[in-house]
Amino acid sequence: MADPSLSILVIDENRARAAIIEAGLREAGHSHVTLVHSLTGLARRVEEAAPDVIVIDLENPGRDMLEHMFQLSRAVRRPVAMFVDRSDSDAIARAVEAGVSAYVVDGLRQERVKPILDMAVSRFNAYARLTRELEAARDELEGRKVVDRAKRFLMKQKRITEDEAYALLRRTAMNRNRRIVEIAQSLLTAADLLGDDL
């Protein structure tokens, strides 16, 4: 159940990911959401937002600074502690695995915060998956280019057709139990080392 009265601060230098978290929070009915992308003036931003919940990515170099601010509890009205559900150690591991951490002001009941952290964890994971898929697509494209170059090289060297060049690559890959793109890459590397014109 979303609790629209909560003020939530999202600290993430990655603007795209922060926007995805923000969208998730708004979809869940949270209207008091503030995004911070830079460490400059962080103390003032925290003070202004007076957050009940802070969501921060684990790669953020400002975490030590933030935790110290909470200890001093000068920049915030009430003491803030890292959100740790001690009855559910898997929840901590899942959050760290996803790369996200949350802090809550003292006195907030766990069930009010848990859905926010769960949402952040799933969106962080979705973002990571998306990034991986993009990389895989890029690798795939690169792979196709490598195979094309290897084919052209074989066609020129052995005076064979494109189909024959591809068949040769595929046969070699099968014999050596490797992927076609790996065979193509080693062929190109070898040719490069030997100074052959590609």
Partner 1 sequence: MTHRIAAGFLPLLDSALLVTAQARGFAAAEGVDLLLLPETSWATLRDRLAVGQMQVAHMLGPLPIAGNLGLWPLPARTVVPMALGLGGNAVTVSNALWTLMAREGATPDLAPAPNGRALRAVVARRARDGWARLRFGVVHPHSGHNYELRYWLAACGLDPSRDVEIAVLPPSFMPEALVAGTLDGFCAGEPWNTAAVLRGAGRIATVKAAIWRNSPEKVLAAEATWADRNPEALDALLRALHRASLWCAEPANQAELAALLAERIGCPPDWLRPALAGEILAGPGLTTRVPDFFVPQASAATFPWKSHALWFYSQMVRWGQVVPGPEAAAAARESYRPDLWRRALRPLGVAQPAANAKVEGALDRPTPVGSTGPSLVLGPDGFFDGQRFDPDSLDAYIATQAGSSTAHEA
Strand ranges of the sheet holding 100-105, from the earlier edge strand across to the other edge: 32-36, 7-11, 53-57, 100-105, 80-82
Minimum distance of partner 1 from residue 123's CB (angstroms): 19
Stated as kind and residue range, the H or E segment containing 142 is helix 110-158
Stretch that binds partner 1, among 4-12, 66-74, 116-124, 184-192 (CB under 8 A): 66-74
> Nearest-5° angle of CA 127, CA 131, CA 133?
115
Q: Residue 107, interface with partner 1 (CB under 8 A)? A: no
Least distance to partner 1, CB of residue 103, Å: 9
Shortest CB 48 distance to partner 1, Å:
18
| Residue 81 makes contact with partner 1 by CB under 8 A | yes
Q: How far is CA 146 from the centre of its chain?
A: 28
Q: Judged by CB under 8 A, which of 23, 96, 137, 167 binds partner 1?
A: 96
> Using the rule CB under 8 A, is 128 a contact of partner 1?
no
Ramachandran sector of residue 175 (left: φ over 0; alpha: ψ -120 to 50; beta: rest) = alpha
Instruction: Say whether residue 97 binds partner 1 (CB under 8 A).
Output: yes
86 binds partner 1 (CB under 8 A): yes
φ, ψ of residue 81 in degrees (nearest 5): -130, 155
Size of the site for partner 1 (CB under 8 A): 24
Rounded (to 5) percent helix, strand, coil in the chain: 60, 10, 30
- Contacts with partner 1 by CB under 8 A lie at 39, 58-65, 67-69, 71-72, 81-82, 84, 86, 89, 92-93, 96-97, 101
